[in-house]
Chain A
Amino acid sequence: MRCIIVGLIMLVLGACGQPAAAPPDASADTAASVADAALSGELTVFAAASLTEAFTALGQQFEADHPDTTIVFNFAGSQQLAQQLAQGAPVDVFASANPRQMEVAIEAGRIVSGTQQVFVRNRLVAITPADNPGAVNTLQDLTNPDLKVILAAEDVPVGGYSRDYLDKATVDPDFGSEYKDAVLANVVSYEESVKVVLTKVALGEADAGIVYSSDVTPDQADQVARIDIPDEFNTIATYPIAVVEDTAQPEPAQAFIDYVLSADGQAVLGAYGFIPVE
């Protein structure tokens, strides 16, 4: 009986652990042939929530180019992904919506400093429900009394960028020194992901929110109206990507990043409203 129990426990523990890493391919030594080598394996990619649609499309393309590979995405707020990385989640590639959360992963020892590369940029945009119940037509209208504004929480990259925008606008006479405080006074919720801000505004639960311009996808375009934030106030978000240091499959991981940075990959990102890196 005792043997059975011990056996059961071993079984459970074994099942929970990472599947044994495939031994590195012999061709790994010849770095030049990486792109041509037949890649295989399951790649786990942690990516910022704002990348959901674009990376899903990129992943499908990558899988089509490398039929033996499978990409498993985990999309969430970058701050959440960075925490999960710091707590030891088994991941191969991390794509963050800001350098700060990449820094969290570096400090946790999961990514080697200097290996991260900026792969895309993004800009902020204010949105309202399509029928605009709060009559928000300008950025100044965000301070109107009794308006319901939702922002991402401060630690979510877009939440930090939103505050940067408010700070920049507040020093401009067109907005006035009360601008930031007045907008924040209208905030009814700090959400944990940019996609939640988008959904709740699209549902009409809030009168306005701030998201990335790439979030207003063609699918969403008939549900939300956008108010552009001028360049001088806009904080251009930079997205870094890196291979996780202890990945069991550095080759496909690097190949995926190379693909994201390639002309094809950048074109896909551009099609989803991101600003490609030159």
Chain B
Amino acid sequence: MAVQPAQRTFPRLMIRRRHANIIMLVILALPLLLFVGLPLLALLLRAGLGVLLQNLANTQVMQAVGLSLMTTTLTTLLAVLMGTPLAYLLARYEFRGRNIVETMIELPMVLPPAVAGVALLMAFGRRGVLGSYLSDAGLELAFTQTAVVLAQLFVAGPFYVKAAIAGFARVEKDMKEAAAIDGAGPLATFRQITVPLTWPALSGGLVMTWARALGEFGATIIFAGNFPGRTQTMPLAIYIGFELDLSVALTLSIMLLVISFGVLLVVKGLLRQRIGSI
């Protein structure tokens, strides 16, 4: 650790106390770090490279990986397309019941996913509030890939919306008024002022949504069911695999770990760059 020139004039005792503080802090921080780190490490240790490579050729494993990547990408896209206007509305305008709407949107973040699955069935299932009409029109959602995406969107979409609301709320009104005076239309203002300024918040929310969608299990297994290659995403394959073939569960768990770790790391790096350049 480089000592700042100014600190050199401090008495030795002060420096020593600072060191003691850091050591104390590390000791206090260590238990949680170890607690989170150890199970992750245990997965890697237990599986071994041989089992991992062998299972990579397993069609059920690869189907689950492909399905997970495809559905989570769709979910994230939908969250951005539908969540951005909603978040903008909630961040920019005061209206009666705004708080209630905002709380409702946040609700899926705290609900157990199983509740989400049952709720989706009650709404979009064949006998559901809306689903019964869809069914009459020949559109059945339960047990389809659409259901997988809907389950993910319901559970994970709010993460993006919440982050976007916070981001939009931070953009100063003055700045947009200034842009308008300079002759920028509302769309141009949104593109050139609002989005660049809120980009870190938006992309942060986007990653949270994607990551949560990737891990979605409870709502999916209830609403979309479990069918290999059709609705069996990685978390479902891990759950079923745990009972059927532990090595499949381990392989998928590690892949999920590596993919998530990689994406989180890359996005964090990008965000830091972006913030640095502003």
Interface residues of A (CB under 8 A from B): 1-2, 5, 9, 77, 79-80, 83, 133, 148, 150, 153-155, 187-192, 200, 203-206
Contact = CB atoms under 8 A, between A and B. Distances in A.
Contacts of B121: 203, 205
Contacts, number: 64
Given A189-B225, A190-B226, A205-B142, A155 B243 contact: yes
A183 to B, nearest CB: 14
Nearest to A148: B143
B243 A9 contact: no
B31 A9 contact: yes
A2 B140 CA distance: 60
Contacts of A77: 243
Given A205-B126, A205-B127, A205-B142, A191 B243 contact: no
A9 B244 CA distance: 35
B221 interface: yes
A49 to B, nearest CB: 13
B68 interface: no
Given A83-B242, A187-B227, A2 B127 contact: no
Given A5-B27, A188-B143, A204-B126, A154 B244 contact: yes
Contacts of A190: 225-228, 240
Contacts of B243: 77, 79-80, 83, 153, 155, 192
B240 A153 contact: yes
A192 B239 contact: yes
Interface size class of chain B, counting residues whose CB lies under 8 Å from the partner chain: 20 to 34
B125 A189 contact: no
Contacts of A133: 126
- A150, A188, A206, most chain B CB atoms within 10 A: A188
A153 B225 CA distance: 11
Q: Please provide the 9 A-B residue pairs with the shortest distance between their CB atoms, ordered closest to farther.
A: A189-B225, A188-B143, A79-B243, A204-B127, A155-B244, A205-B142, A205-B125, A190-B226, A189-B143
B28 to A, nearest CB: 7
Interface in B17-39: 24, 27-28, 31
B126 A153 contact: no
Interface string B198-228: 0000000000000000000000010011111
Nearest to A150: B225
Contacts of B244: 79, 153-155
- B27, B239, B243, most chain A CB atoms within 10 A: B243
